[in-house]
């Protein structure tokens, strides 16, 4: 193929984690790369509306509320109720840091960022905001997702929010309904409850976060209820009625819930509607997502798609890895598939949840003889010192080979702790067993020591 007829070897659409992973990997491989970004700043949904702002807000809320509940402050007569606006002030500074850091990656690697919305004109050509056509040999579509807006919900109403607009909520409601109890819904329900807002969490399914281990799900439900969140399972919206003083949620079951504000957290849709896909032709599914194979290729082999635009698991961490995998594949490194082996979940509720590998349900269904090792955080010296005694670590292992099959954790720092288990699970056979944890010395007092405690607990169950 004649390279001179292409402006770039790779054009990446979107500068979120997926696009950045693809662009950086490809440019290191020595090919000509450019990135198209329609927003005024790079970083994608992860930096501006999702992961970074929501986790920054969560940190501010939990640390502020923890400080305010400190008996010393109470004794000094400090009784304040911070507004949401005050809580959000620090977030913008963190976003700016992220943007300037990521901007430097593109500049250092001489990857131009083309501003505007890219639309396909044919299989190798796009136009950005209707300007001169740009030709590329390969494309990676990493355009992300946005909250799904059903047509009968009035998102212009000042008290009805989605997970993007809720980050700019100026007033602090007394009561809040969260419709949808997936990862986003449960994280926000947790966050708002921590601020003292009364929360109704409406779940359209019969359990919270069904993909998690049952024991972890039960623990999450218990702690949310213990904090005062009302959880309603198996409920479906009939209509949402915005009034002057609040929002009434009418449910198919006949129940009505009235709150000061409502957060719609039910479903996301892929950003594929403005890409001119009909010209290539490539079709998105009903959720706006593109279907890809194991190497992240769409039905058109030189057009790849990664990140939220391909659906599950819709994690920033996964998107970055997928972007790198797609770039490795188009560079001719065919084993670039970094897909599904061990993407850990990180769910930033209170308590935090993280897991990697198989659940008990999956192992039982597959008839794999496993055993469980438990460690409760309240028995760890470090947790007693920090006062973060809620939580546990659970290791699932094969009772004959002692091979680690899954690690499930909830409590403070769960999303950090899980990586130790992840690292051992990925060792070659014989080195991926429970014995690593029983024979290794861990710093004391630490949270990581939970692995030693859990491993010994599991060993005691064997006979």
8 A C-beta contact, residue 179 and residue 262: yes
Go through 306-316 and write b for each residue having 16 or more CB atoms within 10 A of its CB, e for each that does not. bbbbbbebbbb
CB count in 10 Å sphere of residue 225: 12
**CB-count exposure of residue 21 (10 Å: 0-12, 13-18, 19+):** buried
d(CA 311, CA 371): 33
Annotated binding residue 55:
yes
Asked, as a colleague might, if the bond just before 121 is cis with ω within 30 of 0, I would say no
Residue 100 tokens read as 């300037």
415 is in an annotated binding site: no
Taking residue 61's Cβ as centre, other Cβ atoms within 10 Å add up to 21
416 is in an annotated binding site: no
Note the Cα 54 to chain centre separation in Å: 10
Q: Is 187 annotated as a binding residue?
A: yes
Q: How far apart are CA 279 and CA 294, in angstroms?
A: 25
* Widest pairwise Cα distance in the chain: 76
Residue at token pair 């997928």: 322
12 annotated to bind ligand = no
- Report d(CA 88, CA 100) in Å as an integer: 20
Report the SS3 class of residue 342.
coil
Relative to beta strand 8-13, strand 133-141 is: parallel
Helix or strand (DSSP H, E) at 153: none
Give me the helices (H) in 331-449, please: 360-365, 381-386, 414-425, 435-439
Distance CA 397, CA 295 (A): 30
Whether 181 has a binding-site annotation, put simply, is yes
* Residue 180 labeled ligand binder: yes
- 306 labelled binding-site residue: no
Please indicate if the annotation marks 267 as binding a ligand: yes
308 among annotated binding-site residues: yes
User: Residue ranges for the binding site for FAD?
Assistant: 55, 143-145, 308
Question: Which residues define the annotated binding site?
Answer: 55, 143-145, 180-187, 267, 308
Binding residues for NAD(+), as ranges, are 180-187, 267
């Amino acid at each position: 193929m004649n390279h001179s007829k292409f402006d770039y070897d790779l054009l990446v659409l979107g500068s979120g984690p997926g696009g950045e992973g693809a662009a950086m990997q490809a440019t290191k491989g020595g090919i000509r790369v450019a990135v198209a970004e329609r927003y005024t700043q790079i970083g994608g949904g992860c930096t501006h509306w999702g992961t970074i702002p929501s986790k920054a807000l969560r940190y501010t809320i939990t640390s502020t509320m923890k400080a305010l509940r400190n008996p010393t402050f109470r004794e000094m007569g400090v009784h304040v109720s911070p507004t949401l606006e005050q809580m959000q002030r620090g977030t913008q500074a963190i976003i700016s840091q992220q943007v300037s850091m990521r901007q430097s990656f593109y500049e250092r690697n001489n990857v131009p960022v083309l501003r505007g919305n890219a639309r396909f004109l044919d299989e190798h050509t796009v136009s950005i905001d209707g300007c001169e056509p740009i030709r590329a040999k390969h494309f990676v579509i990493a355009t992300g997702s946005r909250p799904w807006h059903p047509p009968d919900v009035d998102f212009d109403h000042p008290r009805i929010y989605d997970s993007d607009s809720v980050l700019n909520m100026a007033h602090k409601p007394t009561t809040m309904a969260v419709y949808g109890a997936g990862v986003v819904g449960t994280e926000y329900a947790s966050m708002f409850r921590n601020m003292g807002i009364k929360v109704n969490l409406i779940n359209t399914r019969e359990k919270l976060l069904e993909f998690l281990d049952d024991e972890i799900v039960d623990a999450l439900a218990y702690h949310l209820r213990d904090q005062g969140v009302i959880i309603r399972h198996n409920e479906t919206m009939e209509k949402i009625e915005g009034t002057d003083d609040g929002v009434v949620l009418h449910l198919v079951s006949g129940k009505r819930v009235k709150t000061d504000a409502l957060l719609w957290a039910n479903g996301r849709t892929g950003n594929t509607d403005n890409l001119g896909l009909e010209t290539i032709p490539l079709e998105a599914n009903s959720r706006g997502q593109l279907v890809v194979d194991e190497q992240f290729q769409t039905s058109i082999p030189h057009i790849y798609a990664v990140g939220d635009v391909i659906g599950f698991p819709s994690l920033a961490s996964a998107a970055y890895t997928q972007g790198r995998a797609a770039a490795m594949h188009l560079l001719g490194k065919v084993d670039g598939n970094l897909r599904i082996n061990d993407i850990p979940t990180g769910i930033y509720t209170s308590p935090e949840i993280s897991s990697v590998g198989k659940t008990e349900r999956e192992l039982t269904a597959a008839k794999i003889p496993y055993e469980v090792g438990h460690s409760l955080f309240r028995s760890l010296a470090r947790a007693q010192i920090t006062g973060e005694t809620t939580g546990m670590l659970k290791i699932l292992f094969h009772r004959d080979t002692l091979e680690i099959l899954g690690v499930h954790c909830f409590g403070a720092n769960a999303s950090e702790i899980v990586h130790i288990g992840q690292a051992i699970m990925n060792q070659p056979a014989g080195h991926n067993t429970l014995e690593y944890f029983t024979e290794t010395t861990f710093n004391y007092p630490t949270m990581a020591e939970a692995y030693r405690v859990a491993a010994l607990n599991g060993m005691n169950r064997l006979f």
